[in-house]
Structure 1
Amino acid sequence: MTFITHGATGAQGAPIFSLLHAAGHDTTAAVRDTAKIDGKAVSVDFDSAASLTEAYQGADGVFVHLPLGSPDQQVTFATAIGDAVAKARPKRVVFSTSGYPLALPDGSRTAHGILHDRLEKSGVSYAVITPKTFLENLLLPVTLDPARVEGKLRYPIREDYAISWISHLDMADIAVQLLTDNVDVQGVVTAGALPALLGDDLAEGFSAHLNTPVNFESQNPDDYGKLITPLFGAAGVEPVIASYHARWSMPDERIDESRSAQMLLGVTPRSVQQWLRDMGI
């Protein structure tokens, strides 16, 4: 089978590219710079439906997630991808929302919602994976180092705030299942831990893996923002801080179990301890 994988040099696409290649599939990375890929690659431009259409021609499956950008840029990307899918008509498309919502609180569609709608209208077989929050956020030095050195897992969520955490490794397992063995599953597939995890649950996983006591500490979002600003810059951090402030007014971030990967695919996400082990932490 032939597959096109977007983001094959990044956190989401790379493990999918690797799993498909390891399974013996004809796998091509769709990237801006083909020199960064050790394997088959095709250069694509997310602004160009023609470029994407050419890449998708004849593919059995395409994995895609929207690149980072302003809301307007992401709408442009979503429109180009949707147009390319409608024209090239690959046999299957799997799209990850990367944790972004399909709609805003006022009901207006985000770029991710626009692409979801375009895939639905295309008539092409598709699935949309909707994770909440990635475990890899906990690997930033500002979080991982205190857990290792001080036994304090600090993160800007309330102590009673439950999240259906998911790792990029689990996302890859789900995406590959949807591209290969479960092509009959259509529409939204939620991805994350069931039951959802509290901060204490995360700390317990770290404790078991590091073989030392680790306790969770709820962190002020602004304090967290100050720590990550040197890593991402003030402009990049501003929306992140805003998202964590918003979480303080939300009850939780639990996935819909009826549309979960556990229910639809029989895929259960790794425990925190297993994820840390598989990441080689």
Structure 2
Amino acid sequence: MTYIIHGATGAQGSPVLNLLQQAGHEAVAAVRDPSGLPAAAASVAVDLSDAAALAEAYRGADGVFVHLPMGAPADGRGQAAAIAAAVAEARPARVVISTSGQIVDAPESPLQAAPDSAIMTLIDSVTATGVSTAVVAPRLYLENLLLPVVLGPARGEGVLRYPLPESFPVSWSSHLDVADVVVRLLLDASVTGTVAVGHRPGLVGADLAGAFSTGLGKAVGYEGISPTAFGALIAPMFGPAAAPVVGLYQALNATDGNVIGENNAQALLELAPRPVSQWLADLGI
């Protein structure tokens, strides 16, 4: 069985590729430039805007995992259209889409992705092909807490600083949690539609601080800071990309939480996210 994994060298695709390979499946890394991959790695060079090349990669595949890279909205919509056209032509047995943290399953939320957004265009267009499709919908990634400006003060000062109030609940998940769900959905096509990923009920600042206290072996407290202050911390690393991050957290601060609903991996697949303390231990923190 062959599975095409987009972004296989990145944070989302790499653990999916590894899990499939460890289970003995043929997993093909779909990347723009395969030259950086090990010589023995199965790979295919793809451009997300080239529908013909994507169709050739998808033809005969048992599953495709895809997510849109960060970029201009117009570019994302064009990529979504090309992916959907390739799926319609090649008819892979299964497609699993990651939202990369964008909210697509909470229409009552002001943070719900717009109908004409790139991610909704991708979901709607691929689903409309009639190919079996599932959408993996995480919220915030635990890996955000590994940024030097977050992890460093936790280690050095015993303070976990993040741009959300201490009482703000979040369905945190790691890239490893998402990969577990993606692989299950690639191998088992009985579940379609959106599958939310993350802790439910959501975790608040004290929950995160407690896990870091255990992981670091020292008392760690939580401190909510403003999105603007967080932006100043990440600007040297992110450059212009810091601005949309600040905008996201400003929007989150105007709500009362970022928690997944009932259509989640726990309920649909009996897959629970790792406790934060376990995630830290798995990373050797």
Relative to the length of structure 2, the TM-score reads 0.95
CA contact (8 A) 1:93 1:124 kept: yes
Check whether the contact 2:113–2:119 (CA below 8 A) recurs between aligned residues. Answer: no
Choose from 241, 244, 262 the match for 2:249: 244
Query: Secondary structure of the residue that 2:219 maps to in structure 1?
Result: coil
Match of 1:64 in 2: 66
**Shift in alpha-carbon separation, 1:98–1:105, aligned structure 2, 3 A:** closer
1:85 pairs with one of 84, 87, 100 = 87
> In structure 1, the residue corresponding to 2:222 is in which secondary structure?
strand
Contact 2:134 / 2:192 at 8 angstroms: preserved in 1?
yes
Aligned equivalent of 1:42: 44
Partner SS, residue 95 of structure 1: strand
Shift of 1:108: 3.1
Q: Please tell me whether the aligned partners of residues 101 and 112 of structure 1 are also in contact (alpha carbons under 8 angstroms).
A: no
Match of 1:166 among 173, 178, 185: 173
Give the whole-Å Cα distance in 1 for the aligned partners of 2:185 and 2:267: 13
Equivalents in 2 of 1:106, 1:187: separation in Å?
Answer: 16
- Answer with 90-99 or 116-125: which moved more: 116-125
Measured after TM superposition, the shift of residue 105 of structure 1 is 5.7
Maintained 8 Å contact 2:103/2:113: no
Q: Could you say which residue in structure 1 is the equivalent of 2:96? A: 94
* Structure-1 residue corresponding to 2:215: 209
Structure 1 residues 106 and 230: alpha-carbon distance in aligned structure 2, compared to 1, 3 A threshold: closer
- Distance in 1 (CA, whole Å) between partners of 2:49 and 2:126 is 17
Q: 1:188 to 1:69 in 2, by over 3 A?
A: same
- Given that 2:159 and 2:222 are in contact with CA atoms closer than 8 Å, whether structure 1 keeps it comes out as yes
Partner of 1:274: 278
- Report the equivalent of 1:31: 31
Paired with 1:98 and 1:187, the residues of 2 have a C-alpha distance of 16
The offset of 1:164, in angstroms, is 0.3
**Where does the alignment leave 5 or more consecutive residues of structure 2 unmatched?**
none
CA distance in 1, matches of 2:43, 2:205: 40
Amino acid at match of 1:126: T
Please state whether the residue corresponding to 1:4 is helix, strand or coil.
strand
Alignment of 1:168-187 (within 5 A): 168-180=175-187, 182-187=188-193
Pick one of 52, 55, 63 that aligns with 1:53: 55
What CA distance in whole angstroms lies between the structure 1 residues aligned with 2:115 and 2:4? 30
Aligned CA distance change for structure 1 residues 107 and 74 (closer, same or farther; 3 Å) = closer
Q: Normalising by structure 1, report the TM-score.
A: 0.96
Equivalent AA in structure 2 for residue 272 of structure 1: V
Contact kept in structure 1, 2:114 and 2:120, CA below 8 Å: no
| Equivalent position of 1:125 in the other structure | 132
Q: Tell me which stretches of 4 or more aligned residues in structure 1 moved more than 4 Å.
A: 103-107
* Aligned residue identity for 2:193: G
Unpaired stretches in structure 1, ≥5 consecutive residues: none
Find the residue that maps to 1:196 and give its secondary structure: coil
> What do the CA deviations read for 1:19-53 (whole angstroms, capped 9, x no partner)?
00111101100000101222111000111101111
Query: Matches of 2:88 and 2:123 in 1, distance apart?
Result: 13
Query: In angstroms, what is the RMSD of aligned CA positions?
Result: 1.2
Q: Which amino acid aligns with 1:129?
A: V
Aligned-residue offset at 1:107? 5.0
Matched, 1:134 2:141: yes
Give, in angstroms, the shift of residue 109 of structure 1.
Answer: 2.9
